[in-house]
Structure 1
Amino acid sequence: MAILTTAPAAAPAPDAPAPSRPRRRPSARRRMEGRAFYAFISPWLAGTVLLTLFPLVYAFVISMTNWDGISPSFSWVGLGNYGDVLVDPGTWASLGRTGVLAAIVVPITIVGSLLLAVLLNQRVRGRTWFRSFIYLPAIVPPVAATLTWKLIFDRDTGALNGLLAQLGLDAVDWFNGDAVFGVLIVVMLWGIGGGVIINLAALQDVSAELTEAAVLDGANAAQRFWHVTLPAISPVILFQTITTTIGALQTFVPALLLSPASGAAAITAVPEANQIFMIDVYAKYFAYSQYGPASAMLWLFFLAILLVTVLTFKIGGRTVFYAVDPSEKGR
C-alpha cells in the first residue's frame, strides 16, 4: 500500500522580496472624514495664508525698496534698508527699552501668576469669587484697560494724584519723563489673571500619589512644592514663559495710548521712555512714510523673536519634566 506524503514547502530565498500587499483604496467613509477635516480647518488655513504668510512675504518685498507707501514709483535698494536699520542708534535704543520692559514684565508675570495660583488653590471659603476677581482684568480689552489706567494716572483728575494730595504729597505728571514707563509696566501686569488660571489648572493636575509619597517621606510644604509640584507643572511654566516673552516684546497698544496726545499726533508725542521697538516701527510707517526701513525692522524683529523662542526652548527644555517622554509619543 502506497503512502502519500507531502513535501515540505520550500523556504523563500533570503534575498527574495516580501510579497507586497495590495493597497486598499480609502473607503467612502474615510474620504468623507478627510473632506470634513479639511473643511473644518479651511478657515484657519485661509487666515494663516492671508493674514500671516502673505503679509510676511509682502513686507519682505517692501523691505527691499524705498517705497513711501503713497507714490506708485519706487526703486530697489536690496539689503540697504537692513544695513541702515542695523547702524541706526534709534533702533538699538528702542530695542533696548523693549528688552528692559520684557526683562521686568516676564519674570513678575510668571512668578506672580504662579504664587497667586498656589494661593487660590487652597481650600478656603469663597475661593471661587477670588478666582473670578483675579481673572476678570484678563478679559478686559487692552484698549479699555489702558484708557482706564490713563484716567487713574491723570495729573489733574486722576485718582492716584488725588490720593497723593490727601497724603500731603505733590501731584506727579505720570505721562512725562521716566514715570510713564512705570505706568506702562502697571498696565501690562494688569492682565496677570490669565496666567493665574493656566497655572491653577496645572496645579490641579498634579498627581496626588506623588504628593502623598512625598508626605510619607517627611517632606515639608516647601520641599513638596519644589521637588514635586514645580517639576510637574514645568511644561506649563515653559509655555507661559515663551508666550509672555513674545507678548512683551510685541507690546504696542498700551505704549501708544499712554501718549499725552491723541489721534494722529499720538505717535509722535509718545514719551521717549515709552518709545519701544513697535512704536518706532509704527512711526516709520505712518508718521514718516519710510515703508522700506520699517519693513526691514519688522523682519529683523521677527528673526530676533524666533531666535529668543528657540533659545528658550533649548535652555528651558533641560529643566522641564514630562510625565511621558515626548520622543515616545505617537509610537
Structure 2
Amino acid sequence: MSTGQLTDQAAGTGTAPSSPSRPPAGTTRRPPSLRTRRARAFYVFTVPWVLGFVALTAFPLGYALWLSFTNADGLSQNSRFVGLDNYREVFTDPETMDSLWRTGVFTAITVPLTIAAGLLLAVLVNQPIRARGVFRTLLYLPAVVPPVGAALTFKLIFDRDSGSANGVLDIAGINGINWLVDPYARWVLIVLTMWAVGNGMIISLAGLQDIPRELGEAARVDGASPWQSFTRITLPLLSPVIFFQVVTGIIGSLQSFMPLLIALDPTPRGVTAVPESNYFYMINVFAEYFANGRYGYASALLWVLFAIICVVTFVIFKLSKGAVFYSVEPEQAKPKARTIGGVR
C-alpha cells in the first residue's frame, strides 16, 4: 500500500495511523548526557581502589576481628570461640601492660623532640642566607632513606665490635660500649627516630612560608623582639601545622616497629632477644603472632591498639579547640530566612 493510500484511508476514517514502536532504521540514538558520562568515569576510576580496599584492608580487618574472639594458633583448624577472654588477658597480662607503658614513654619523648627539632631547622633554613637550598636538601636527605635501610645502618654503626661509634670512642681512649643492649639501646632508638627529622622540617617550613611577612614587619615596627614575634605571631599561626605533626607523630610512634631491626642481640635468638627497654607493644604483638603462635590473642592486641589510637586522637582533637588557630574559619550554616505567606 502506498503512502498516498494510507493518507486517504486515514482521512476517510478520521483516525491517524499509529506511530511505530521502534525508531526507523538508520536513525542515531541520543548520546548519553554529561551527568551519565561523569558517573561512568567515576565508577571506572574508583572500582580498582574499592577492590583493593576490600581485599587488602576491609577483609583483613574483619578477619582479624573474628580471630580476636577465638583461640586460633595459625596451624590447627579446630579453633574455637572464646568470647572476650583474649581482651581480658590483654589488660591483665603484665608483659603487655609493660610494653604499652614503654611505648607511651617513647612516644612522649620522641614526638615533642622531633617536632621541636624540625621547627628549629625550619626556622634556620628559612633565613635569607646563601645556598639555603643546599642546606634544605642535605637536612632532608636522611628522611628519604627507607626506614628499614636506616635501621640496619644504625645497627652497623653501633655494633660493639666493628661499629664506627665505638671506633670514635677508641680514638678518644674510651672503651667500646655495647650499644644494642640495655641501658643504651633506648638511646640508639631515639637517635634513629631523630634521624628522619627532615620530614618535620619540610612541613614546618611550608607553614612558615605561608605566614605573611607583613605581620613580622609590623611587629618589629611596634618594638617587638624576635622572641616575642615568634611566640605571639609565628607559633599561633603555625599551630595547625604543629597540631598535624602531633597527631601523625603519636599515631606513628604507637605503632613503632623499628626496634626489632636495630636492637636484636648480636647472636639473634628471635624476637625474645630484644632488650627489655625496647620491647614495645608492636614487638609484643609480633612475638605473640610468630613466636608463640597465638593468633587470636595477637589480633586482640592489635584491636586494642586501634581503640587506644582512636581515643587518644579524639582527646587531642577535643583539647586542640582552644589552642589551634586557623587562618580561615570553617563556614557556618546560615539560618534560612523566615517567610510569611510566601513573602520574605
Q: What SS does the corresponding residue of 2:270 show, helix, strand or coil?
A: helix
* Contact persistence 2:125–2:136 (CA under 8 A): yes
Map of 1:314 onto structure 2 = 318
Q: Deviations over 1:223-279 (max 9, x none)?
A: 11111111111111100110011111100134344312577x431211111110000
Deviates more, 1:152-161 or 1:210-219: 210-219
User: Aligned AA for 1:176?
Assistant: V
Map of 1:205 onto structure 2 = 210
Q: How far apart are the structure 2 equivalents of 1:229 and 1:273? A: 37
Q: How far apart are the structure 1 equivalents of 2:175 and 2:84? A: 52
How does 1:1-331 map onto structure 2 within 5 Å? 28-260=33-265, 265-328=269-332
Deviates more, 1:122-131 or 1:309-318: 309-318
How far did 1:329 drift?
9.0
* Contact persistence 1:138–1:194 (CA under 8 A): yes
Q: How far apart are the structure 2 equivalents of 1:212 and 1:38? A: 51
Q: How far apart are the structure 2 equivalents of 1:72 and 1:133? A: 54
Q: How far apart are the structure 2 equivalents of 1:190 and 1:108? A: 11
Q: Deviations over 1:66-88 (max 9, x none)?
A: 01101111111000111111100
Q: How far apart are the structure 2 equivalents of 1:217 and 1:328? A: 35
User: Aligned AA for 1:157?
Assistant: S
5+ unaligned residues in a row in structure 1: which ranges?
A: 1-26
Q: How far apart are the structure 1 equivalents of 2:329 and 2:91? A: 42
Deviates more, 1:206-215 or 1:226-235: 206-215
TM-score, normalised to structure 1's length?
Answer: 0.87
* Contact persistence 1:260–1:270 (CA under 8 A): yes
Q: Deviations over 1:8-36 (max 9, x none)?
A: xxxxxxxxxxxxxxxxxxx7222222332
TM-score, normalised to structure 2's length?
Answer: 0.84
> Would you say how many aligned residue pairs link Structure 1 and Structure 2?
304
Q: How far apart are the structure 2 equivalents of 1:79 and 1:237? A: 38
* Contact persistence 1:184–1:255 (CA under 8 A): no
How far did 1:219 drift?
1.7
Map of 2:27 onto structure 1 = none
Q: Deviations over 1:17-74 (max 9, x none)?
A: xxxxxxxxxx722222233234334443333333322222111100100011011111
Q: How far apart are the structure 2 equivalents of 1:73 and 1:41? A: 39
Instruction: State the structure with more CA Rg.
Output: 2
How far did 1:124 drift?
0.5
* Contact persistence 1:138–1:190 (CA under 8 A): yes
Q: Deviations over 1:269-325 (max 9, x none)?
A: 111111100000000000000111111111111000111111111112321111111
* Contact persistence 1:62–1:292 (CA under 8 A): yes
Taking a change above 3 Å as real, the CA distance of residues 187 and 43 of structure 1, as seen in their structure-2 partners, is: farther
Taking a change above 3 Å as real, the CA distance of residues 214 and 33 of structure 1, as seen in their structure-2 partners, is: farther
